[in-house]
């Protein structure tokens, strides 16, 4: 089973989603998107694939 990442409780899932949606910079937006997916209990690999980042 893949390892799961844990996030500190600095932002809620909804706050991470808003940061992802509102960010104008493509790279920064992708980072927030990845963190949002991980906050929803996705594995890092699943989240990376969803946002188009190579994970190996």
Give pLDDT, residue 5: 74
Q: Using H for helix, E for strand and C for coil, what is the string for the chain?
A: CCCCCCCCCCCCHHHHHHHHHHCCCHHHHHHHHHHHHHHCCCCHHHHHHHHCCCCC
Question: In this predicted model, what pLDDT tens digit does every residue of 1-56 receive, in sequence order?
Answer: 666 677 888 999 999 999 999 999 999 999 999 999 999 999 889 999 999 988 77
Give pLDDT, residue 14: 96
19: number of Cβ within 10 Å: 17
In this structure, what are the phi and psi dihedrals at residue 23, rounded to the nearest 5 degrees?
-70, 130
Give pLDDT, residue 56: 73
pTM value is: 0.84
């Amino acid at each position: 089973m893949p390892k799961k990442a844990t996030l500190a409780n600095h932002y809620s899932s909804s706050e991470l989603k808003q940061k992802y949606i509102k960010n104008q910079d493509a790279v920064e937006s992708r980072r927030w998107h990845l963190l949002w997916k991980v906050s929803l209990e996705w594995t890092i690999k699943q989240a990376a694939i969803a946002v188009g980042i190579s994970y190996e």
